[in-house]
Chain A
Amino acid sequence: MLNAAPPATGRFDMSDPIVKIRGLKKNFGALQVLKGIDMDIEPGHIVALIGASGSGKSTLLRTVNQLEDVTDGEIWFDGDLVNKKLPHRAREKHLNLLRQNIGMVFQHFNLFPHLTAMENVTLAPIMLGRMNKAKAIEHAQQLLDKVGLDDRAEYYPSQLSGGQKQRVAIARSLAMKPKLMLFDEVTSALDPELVGEVNRVMKQLAKEHMTMVIVTHDLRFAEDVSDHVVFMADGYVVEAGPPEQLFRNPQKPKTKSFLHQVFDE
């Protein structure tokens, strides 16, 4: 995976965005959670999604792979309308294909407790016929190696630390060779001393030009890893830009007060 080094700003002007979000709205019953989101994600970009608790970050992330359906608006992934209106069966098929290209990592790992680390990683590629068993195991071994857990392949999740679990979860979502990775506060449930090992894996992926959306409360990590930061509040994107601008020279009062609050803690 030795691609050419990306330009310092990470801009790939010649390519279309891999994700395009237009006028996205999401209600939970009477509660309006997303109130009109527009966003582009360029291939190879690392987008950090920040904002106060309840601002709609997770909801936005989960609409991209349709773990949440949308109330209004459009989401495009790789030239395909994600939330197209289809009959039930056709929609399931469309979503299954779509989701094979989008990896997701959760705050609480959601590893399959009845399967070993190896089986967690190989389950989807084998079941979905992406690879035969031998190939899937070989690939999984490489991925476990990449996240530093080659010696833990036969362990069950209950035998792993939080940081190790999350690294297995990352390997698992990489197993389908996704074009986009979604990370929802993947270090929030970890003991502080275990955060670093997971962050290192994400940084490694960033170096390899994986397109990633990272929801995080860890603003230092966001600044460090991302090339585009999106600040959300109350269901809107308030401000977005390169990290050096958004963190060092925010334009909107809401951004300023959020950053003050967080950095003063």
Chain B
Amino acid sequence: MDIELIGRVWIYFAEAALVTVQISVLAILLGLCLGFVAALGSLSVNAALRWPSRAYVSVFRGTPALIQLFLLYFGGPQVGIHLDPMEAGIIGLGINIGAYMCESIRGAIISVDKGQTEAGRCMGLGHFQVMNKIILPQAARMMVRPLGVNSIALIKGSAIVSTISVLELSYTAHRYISSTYKPFEMFFLASIFYIVIVTIFSYGVGKIDRRVSLEN
């Protein structure tokens, strides 16, 4: 292993890691918003809200993220959507992870005992009030872990945006390989950065999870 080479290029990988973090964080935030709206929609009594939410989840979980990304980035201009690689990466990844996050949020909401809703409704609280004050605060505790799993999957999955030439970790590794012919060192270095990111992120999720479940 060419330690000296690693010593020379690691700083560029660190910069690329920041790009990976940036894409991931923004995609996670987008995914959370979409997932939350879709989860509420999929639990609505109104079929006009339920149907689009279900369709969103099936379509985006049922097709490869890579194809979704290509459709958006390469196919987008054909229908008037012009995005730079970074934008396409964030939006593509965000929409994709949102479908998974929808299922995590929905699962947490329906895991709250039905008696909680009944107790709220039978005091005269409306559907929205019960959701807001009774169900969501309890569901929130149960969604931290699954959403953490979704987010970590996204961080690692963000490597696919290298295919639309976003200068993140994976693409950086590829570029250095073509100039150094040292694939082992370059992919090894990229892996180290992924592990660092995922480890820090997992630690944060664990902390939040302990915090919310220890609240009482």
A interface vs B, CB < 8 Å?
A: 65, 67, 88, 92, 95-100, 102-104, 106, 108, 110-114, 123-124, 127-128, 156, 158-159, 169, 172-173, 175-176
Kindly supply a per-residue 1/0 record for chain B positions 3-30, scoring 1 wherever the CB is within 8 Å of any chain A CB and 0 otherwise.
0000000000000000000000000000
Please state if A67 and B122 are interface contacts (CB–CB under 8 Å). Answer: yes
Residues of A within 8 A of B216 (CB): 113-114, 156, 158-159
A-chain residues with CB within 8 Å of residue B133 when the two chains form the complex: 123, 127
- Chain B residues closer than 8 Å to A102, beta-carbon distance: 122
User: Which residues of B pack against A, CB within 8 Å?
Assistant: 45, 113, 115-116, 118-127, 129, 133-134, 137-138, 215-216
| Chain B proximity of A125: nearest CB distance (Å) | 9
Are A124 and B137 in contact, CB atoms less than 8 angstroms apart?
no
In Å, the complex CA distance between A25 and B119 comes to 24
Cα–Cα distance between A260 and B129 once the two chains are bound (Å): 47
Let me know if B115 and A67 touch, CB within 8 A: no
If A112-B134, A156-B216 touch, does A124 touch B124 (CB 8 Å cutoff)?
yes
Residue among B121, B123, B138 with max Cβ neighbours from chain A (10 Å): B123
* B124 with A96: CB separation less than 8 A: yes
Point out the residues of chain B lying under 8 angstroms from A113, CB to CB: 138, 216
* Contact A67 B126, CB 8 Å, known A110-B113, A156-B216: no
Identify the closest chain A residue to B116 (Cβ).
A110
A172 to B134, CA, bound (A): 14
Q: Are A114 and B123 in contact (CB under 8 A)?
A: no
Q: Is the CB of A104 within 8 A of B122?
A: yes
| Contact, CB under 8 Å: B116 / A99 | no
Contact B123 A176 (CB under 8 A): yes
Is A97 a contact partner of B115 (Cβ separation < 8 A)? no
B124 contacts A99, CB within 8 Å? yes
Note all chain A residues with C-beta closer than 8 A to B127: 92
Chain B neighbourhood of A123, CB < 8 A: 123, 125, 133-134
CA distance A128 to B138 in the complex (A): 21
Query: Which residue of chain A has its CB nearest to the CB of B117?
Result: A110
Residues of A within 8 A of B123 (CB): 99-100, 103, 123-124, 128, 172-173, 175-176
Known A67-B121, A67-B122, A169-B119; 4 more pairs at CB < 8 Å: A103-B123, A104-B122, A106-B119, A110-B119
CB distance from A165 to the nearest CB of B (A): 12
| Known contacts A113-B216, A156-B216; is-contact A128 B124 (Cβ 8 Å) | yes
Residues of B within 8 A of A175 (CB): 123
- Across the interface, name the chain B residue whose C-beta is closest to A157: B216
Bound-state CA distance A92–B130 (Å) is: 13
Are A110 and B115 touching (Cβ within 8 A)? yes
Residues of A within 8 A of B122 (CB): 65, 67, 99, 102-104, 173
